[in-house]
Amino acid sequence: MNFTIFGNPVEHSKSPQMQNAGFEQLNFDGKYTKTHLEDGGIIKDVFLKNNLNGANITVPHKEDAFKNADEVRGMAQKIGAVNTYILEDTQVVAYNTDAPGFMKAIESFGNINSVLLLGAGGTAKAIAVALKEKNIEVTVLNRSQSRLEYFKELGCIAYTWDTFKVSQYDLIVNSTSAGLKDEDLPAPKNIIEQSIQNSKYAFDCIYGKKTPFLQLASQNNIQYKDGEDMLLYQGVIAFEYFTKQSASKETIEAMRKGLKKG
């Protein structure tokens, strides 16, 4: 069976090595490749033309993939973006596995009732929908105002840097791209420091790097983790849709090893 990840850029993606390691562990006859796609508007046509059984979708095509799918299932309907396509008969069915992947990744912190979510982009939408689904209180803090309306409608408290009033949180999450390719904090240092000091745990969606945000969490002695588990579990959940089997502990560990390879 054939699978791929669509993106632009896609060269850096670790999904093939993660998914192929899982297929191998399971003896599943699957091959997972990368597909560079310029125009997200034709994603379904390319998916069908390439005889794919399933695919993942990454930046910047998740919203186009949502619009083009024949059917969207689960939390993706509210999020408005999908990262997984599955061929069912002749229909392209779409899911968002970033949202449950995030929830799985934060399980290791224990019980979470309130979250301060930094950023208001696509990833923040997935995280906010998943958290609200579990009745967790969500406060969103973003640099600019324009993206906050979606979160207010979802029932989140929403601030820009100018209007922010700190409260107490079980968890603070960086879902901005600050720290990805630069050494920026997700908001001015006084805001981040004060917020971290009022949180029990910190999570950064960025993986493979101790970002300035995580460095500050570490300096303030709060437990933290990076986005590796989120990436792993969005992949594991997609893998379960691809193979129509639940992933065993052994498969998940093989996928983690695959992710860390090279």
Minimum distance, C-beta of residue 188 to ligand NDP, in the bound complex (Å): 9
User: What's the distance, CA 117 to chain centroid?
Assistant: 13
Binding to ligand NDP by CB under 6 A, coded x per residue (else -) over 19-58, reads ----------------------------------------
Q: Which of 14, 34, 44, 62 is catalytic?
A: 62
Minimum distance, C-beta of residue 87 to ligand NDP, in the bound complex (Å): 23
* 64 is a contact residue toward ligand NDP (CB under 6 A): no
Contact window for ligand NDP (CB under 6 A) among 17-25, 33-41, 171-179, 241-249: 171-179
Q: Which of 60, 62, 68 is nearest to 10 (CA)?
A: 60
User: Is 62 known to be catalytic?
Assistant: yes
User: For strand 114-118 and strand 169-174, is the pairing parallel, antiparallel, or unpaired?
Assistant: parallel
Q: Which of 86, 109, 107, 105 is nearest to 96 (CA)?
A: 86
Nearer to ligand NDP, 87 or 98 (CB): 98
Residues 33/3, Cβ–Cβ less than 8 Å: yes
* 175 is a contact residue toward ligand NDP (CB under 6 A): yes
Q: Tell me the torsion sign for CA atoms 166, 229, 32, 88.
A: negative
Contact window for ligand NDP (CB under 6 A) among 129-137, 175-183, 214-222, 243-251: 175-183
Minimum distance, C-beta of residue 180 to ligand NDP, in the bound complex (Å): 4
* 90 is a contact residue toward ligand NDP (CB under 6 A): no
Residues 31/5, Cβ–Cβ less than 8 Å: no
Q: Torsion over CA of 143, 103, 203 and 4, rounded to 10 degrees?
A: -80
Distance CA 73, CA 71 (A): 7
* 177 is a contact residue toward ligand NDP (CB under 6 A): yes
Which amino acid, residue 135?
N
For the record, the structure tokens of 259 come out as: 């992710």
Residues 92-151 that bind ligand NDP (CB under 6 A): 98, 119-124, 142-144, 147
Contacting residues toward ligand NDP, per CB under 6 A: 59, 98, 119-124, 142-144, 147, 175-178, 180, 184, 186, 205-207, 227, 230-231, 234
